Structure 1
Amino acid sequence: MTVDVLVQAGSAQRGGPAPVSMIERMTLILDAFDGASPVRTLIDVAEHTGLPRSSVHRIIDQMVRLRWLAHVPGGYRLGTRALELGGLAVEHNEIRDVVSPLLHEVCQRTGMVGHLGVLDGPEVLYLDKAVGRSCDSIPTRLGGRMPAHCTAVGKALLATLEPSIVELAFRERLPQLTPRTIGHRAELHRELDRVRSHQGVAVDREESVAGVVCVAVPIRGRAPGAVAALSLSGRLGGVRAPGTSSLARVLVEVADEAARAVFPRYARWQ
């Protein structure tokens, strides 16, 4: 029998769909390391997940090499990579708790859609979204992701990084979401230079969603870079909004207030 057939057979005995993808199997294995059982043997993990022991052994070996798990006396435990990501999740939650009231207030005041986002590799992860009064909907969501190179939030964050980091993070050809999306890495570098020359204010001119414009500014930390970025978005021809310069001034004030509020909590993660 093949591994997939064995997995399907074990799943059938449990009465659920077979976890056929590697991500599903890794997730099942990570879920086995709950607070009550921080250390598990290979047999424990196989029994807990319902996966074949041979598959569990092979996957755990890979997860140890990638630092998702660590080999310890008596079995395995969560590795440093899982713990690092857990720390980042706490950090993001604290940033959102502090900044969210400010973001929602400015959206009610301007009537626009607001986002709080952080960089996750070459993408933006949205930690929060707020919608102003009578504002048209924009196809983004809390916990959603967008390519950083085509969003105002992403460009505001990328502009705080060294150009060499951006060079390594992006391929020469960039995915295009609209006809206005930046398509080449060199063009992205020029755009980030413009953002830096405008005190960190970034603009999305229908680059991520057709008919939507957006302005963003970074929330700067004590370390180089930024801890997050705030943006205000609106549809062309929708709610009449202030010009980008007016929005930028509003966002800079909010970002400064957010930074003052975040630092007492954020400082310990530096």
Structure 2
Amino acid sequence: MSSADATPTVIGKVMLILRAFTVDDHDLPLAEIVRRTGLHKATTHRLAGELVEARMLDRTDNGYRLSGGLFELGMRASVERSLLEIAMPFLQDLYQRTRETVHLGVLDGREVMYVAKIGGHRQASAPSRTGGRMPLHCTGIGKALLAHADSSLRREVLGGPLIRLSQRTIVAPGILAAQLDTARETGVAYEYEESTRGIACVAAPILDVGTNDVVAAVSVTGPLSRYRPEPHAGSVRAAAGGIAATLHRRQTLHS
């Protein structure tokens, strides 16, 4: 029996199957799910069938895909849903002002998870996508989150391997630490081709008004062929501050 198949609970095996799908997958054959999860084929086939009945997966000609039932559950996630409802007008205003790609992201482990992405016909070809993830150390929005995160997470990221995604990814802990200090002081973080060649970004944290804890971050990304992030720092900071103030007002009303 594989180590994955020794998972003590059925829920654990179900999560292995659901997490086998990446943001780039439209559907997956049963054999590929088995390969990615390490579960036995019979176990995978049985649980996949039950997930189809529960509307967590759909059957396709090529195997299985994530179902709309998961989307419904995701939209009920209270923190992300209320955050997105409050943030969206500010994100739309930021896009109208900059005409460049706007992101909203939250901290999830050592990664940023993108909750929203707004871009027009000429949006930057950034690797980010709604529901997708990127390492904290090589994105503007990730650095904005990390600069204001718990000190233990900062030590963990700086002390661990810093994966190189491009030639300009910062993999020296000392340089990254200095950037995080600057981002904390100035309220904005920058990326210059650190996740993708030709892309630049400016990001600002959304901080809880009462505790100063980081809730999320917002960014504007564009191609270096026409975009420089520095002139947009004030707009990004203002959007992040507006979202934070609105979140605080709603929390105060409901407390």
Q: Does structure 2 retain, via aligned residues, the 8 Å contact 1:115–1:231?
A: yes
Structure 1: distance between partners of 2:90 and 2:121:
15
Structure 2: distance between partners of 1:267 and 1:155:
29
Q: What is the aligned counterpart of 2:233 among 248, 255, 270? A: 248
**How far does residue 254 in structure 1 lie from its aligned partner after superposition?**
1.1
Higher CA-based Rg: 1
Q: Does structure 2 retain, via aligned residues, the 8 Å contact 1:173–1:185?
A: no
**Structure 2 residue matching 1:156: 3-state secondary structure:** helix
Within-5 A mapping of 1:186-225: 186-198=174-186, 200-221=187-208, 222-225=210-213
Aligned AA for 1:257?
G
1:101 to 1:261, Cα distance in 2 relative to 1, 3 A: same
**Structure 2 residue matching 1:228: 3-state secondary structure:** strand
Within-5 A mapping of 1:74-153: 89-132=77-120, 134-153=122-141
Count of residue pairs brought into register by the alignment: 202
Q: What is the aligned counterpart of 2:220 among 220, 227, 232? A: 232
Q: Does structure 1 retain, via aligned residues, the 8 Å contact 2:221–2:229?
A: no
Q: Does structure 1 retain, via aligned residues, the 8 Å contact 2:144–2:205?
A: yes
Percentage of matched positions with identical amino acids: 36
**Structure 1 residue matching 2:77: 3-state secondary structure:** helix
**Structure 1 residue matching 2:156: 3-state secondary structure:** helix
Structure 2: distance between partners of 1:202 and 1:134:
23
Q: Does structure 1 retain, via aligned residues, the 8 Å contact 2:192–2:200?
A: yes
Q: Which residue of 1 is the match for residue 14 of structure 2?
A: none
Which blocks of at least 5 consecutive residues in structure 2 are unaligned?
A: 6-28, 55-73
Structure 1: distance between partners of 2:38 and 2:252:
36
Q: Does structure 2 retain, via aligned residues, the 8 Å contact 1:172–1:184?
A: no
* Aligned CA-pair RMSD: 3.5
1:174 to 1:133, Cα distance in 2 relative to 1, 3 A: same
Q: Which residue of 1 is the match for residue 167 of structure 2?
A: 179
Please give the per-residue CA displacement for 1:157-216, whole angstroms capped at 9, x wherever unaligned: 111124343112454431011111111333321221121222x21000111111000000
State TM-score, norm by structure 1. 0.64
**Structure 2 residue matching 1:248: 3-state secondary structure:** helix
Q: Which residue of 2 is the match for residue 257 of structure 1?
A: 242
Q: Which residue of 2 is the match for residue 61 of structure 1?
A: none
State TM-score, norm by structure 2. 0.67
